Amino acid sequence: MLPVNDTAPPPAPAADRLVEATRELLWERGYTGTSPKAIQQRAGAGQGSMYHHFTGKPDLALAAITRTAEELRALADGLLSGPGTAVERVTAYLRRERDVLRGCPVGRLTQDPEVMADPVLRAPVEQTLGWLRVRLAEVLAEGRANGELPPSVDPSGTAATVVAVLQGGYVLARAAGDTAPFDQAVTGLITLLAPPA
């Protein structure tokens, strides 16, 4: 046992603060729109500190994107592997609390040509969204097998539809400056998936 006798939590190390600041800025402004200086200012770290811990902007972005992707995946898996019927779990995922007007921190990166042009930065984006579609398809296949869903629903195709409604719902909400279109799109999908008796 190490002699730990702190009463208050220690301040986050500079490297962690830099990654957190980068995560926020990538979400808000994208990769192209985020400068090292802005990261340093938000993290309360100087240039020397940043370039000591990371080789540059791409290196920092990779750390940030990786952490964000892991979080998103853990959250989704928790809901999709939780209790309830297949349709209930998909609905729970669709209805999960979200910062709708900020959009999806992973899906957003898809619109950044500099991210998509770099295989290293792109990989976690591709893998996360790919994993999500597969996981949803598994749950939907379960629902079809036990009769919750009609045989006409193709699990893979419907999984793509579900993820697309979320990603597209963010776009509509941002365009409208209002979360309502996101909720409408989700409700519309749920109605189609599980029509009221």
Partner DNA sequence: GTCTATAATCAGATAGAC
Partner DNA sequence: GTCTATCTGATTATAGAC
187 binds, among DNA, its own copies, none (CB under 5 to 8 A by kind): its own copies
Within 8 A by CB and 6+ apart from 143, the residues are 85, 86, 87, 90, 149
List the single partner that 108 binds among its own copies, DNA, none, CB under 5 to 8 Å by kind. its own copies
Per CB under 8 A, does 105 bind its own copies?
no
In angstroms, rounded to a whole number, what is the distance separating the alpha carbons of residues 38 and 44? 10
Q: How far apart are CA 34 and CA 86, in angstroms?
A: 40
Is residue 79 at the binding interface for DNA, with CB under 7 A as the rule? no
35 touches DNA by CB under 7 A:
yes
Selected binder of DNA within 30, 49, 66, 183 (CB under 7 A): 49
Q: Which letter, b or e, does each residue of 1-40 get, where b requires 16 or more Cβ atoms within 10 Å of its Cβ?
A: eeeeeeeeeeeeebbebbbbbbbbbbbeebbeebebeebb
CB of 26 to DNA, least distance (A): 12
Binding pattern for the stretch 30-69 against its own copies, x by CB under 8 A and - elsewhere: x-xx------------------------------------
Report residue 139 as tokens: 């749950």
Beta strands in 8-138 (DSSP E): none
Closest CB 145 distance from DNA, rounded Å: 50
Q: Using CB distances below 5 to 8 A depending on partner kind, what does residue 160 bind out of its own copies, DNA, none? A: its own copies
